[in-house]
Amino acid sequence: MLKFWPTTIIFLFGLLAFFIFQSTFNLSFWYLIIWMKLFAIIQFCGAYFIGLNFHLISINRINTNDKKVVLTFDDGPHANTIKVLEVLKKHRVKAVFFIIGKNIVDNERILQQVVAEGHQIGNHSFSHHNFIDVWSTKKVTNDFETCQKLIEHYQPQSKLFRPPYGVTNPNIAKAVKTLGLQSIGWNVRSYDTSIKHVEKIKQRVLSQLKPGAIILLHDRLDFMPELLEALIPTIKAKGYEFANTI
């Protein structure tokens, strides 16, 4: 599997080789352009697809061959989180909530309820800033650490982390390592923030379902309780159980 540093070193050696042999073998600069485009594509895919483990090792499925899956929710706590908790409690399902630190303000009771009802919580950055993936290592680390301190106030043992937007890079990888966090990805992406149609999202999730699946959802969405009411019983009807931990 491709990794950031080996790929970068190979790319640099390729550049060096091109300029060394370009005049000797009259190499076309199209080779250089193709080489650079290939590197750019690999870098983009490595950053965007967390399951590739390009920049850092993430847990992208739970370690089981049994028919068990886990629900994960990003971006809370939110007023809608309360409704999500009601559905989970009704169906006796535990989940993992990845928390944005700044959202805890004025939502402390909601986060307390999440923990009190037996769910895991994890770090989803403090700011979830639009440009966090281009921040310096120091700034990223400070942001993650600020959220981590808040998270540990509610669940001291938590070391789970999910990168904002699921994007990874060398700075984020270094911050995660410095703080001793465990990156959590997914292997079932619902695209619930873009599809916004309950039945279509349900079918998308079901089509990807497999033993050990980590399902990505967002508890802030207004239709999430409705989606869960349709999704959870169907998953159970297919013989799956919901794991209570990653």
Which pLDDT band holds residue 23 (cuts at 50, 70, 90)? confident
Q: Is the pLDDT of residue 211 over 80?
A: yes
Q: Which amino acid is at 121?
A: I
Q: What is the mean pLDDT of residues 115-126?
A: 98
Q: What is the mean pLDDT of residues 126-150?
A: 97
Which pLDDT band holds residue 240 (cuts at 50, 70, 90)? very high
Q: What is the mean pLDDT of residues 154-165?
A: 97
Share of the chain above pLDDT 70, in %: 100
Q: Is the pLDDT of residue 141 over 80?
A: yes
Q: What is the mean pLDDT of residues 120-126?
A: 98
In whole angstroms, give the CA distance from residue 196 to residue 98.
20
Query: For position 2, what pLDDT does the model report?
Result: 84
- State yes or no: is 218 an active-site residue: yes
- State yes or no: is 106 an active-site residue: no
Active-site hit among 74, 75, 192, 219: 74
* Cross-strand partners of 68: 241
Q: Tell me what the pLDDT averaged over the chain comes to.
A: 97
Active-site hit among 55, 75, 218, 219: 218
Share of the chain above pLDDT 90, in %: 96
Q: Where are the beta strands (DSSP E) in the chain?
A: 58-59, 68-76, 95-99, 120-123, 160-161, 182-184, 188-189, 214-218, 241-242
Fold of 58-242: TIM Barrel (3.20.20)
* Cβ-proximal residues to 3 (8 Å cutoff; 6+ apart), any chain: 53, 54
- Summarised one tens digit per residue, pLDDT across range 187-207 is 999 999 999 899 999 999 999
Encoding tokens for residue 206? 């079901």
Q: What is the mean pLDDT of residues 70-95?
A: 98
Upstream peptide bond of 77 is cis (omega within 30 degrees of 0): yes
Q: Is the pLDDT of residue 92 over 90?
A: yes
The per-residue b/e assignment along 143-178, b for 16 or more CB within 10 angstroms, e otherwise, is bbbbbbebbeebbeebebbbbbbbebbebbbbbbee
- Summarised one tens digit per residue, pLDDT across range 33-81 is 999 999 999 999 999 999 999 999 999 999 999 999 999 999 999 999 9
In whole angstroms, give the CA distance from residue 215 to residue 205.
8
Q: Is the pLDDT of residue 1 over 80?
A: no
- What pTM was computed for the model? 0.94
Q: Where are the beta strands (DSSP E) in 81-222?
A: 95-99, 120-123, 160-161, 182-184, 188-189, 214-218
Q: Other CB atoms closer than 10 Å to residue 240's CB: what's the count?
A: 18
Domain ranges for the chain: 4-48, 58-242
Q: What is the mean pLDDT of residues 72-93?
A: 98
Which pLDDT band holds residue 244 (cuts at 50, 70, 90)? confident
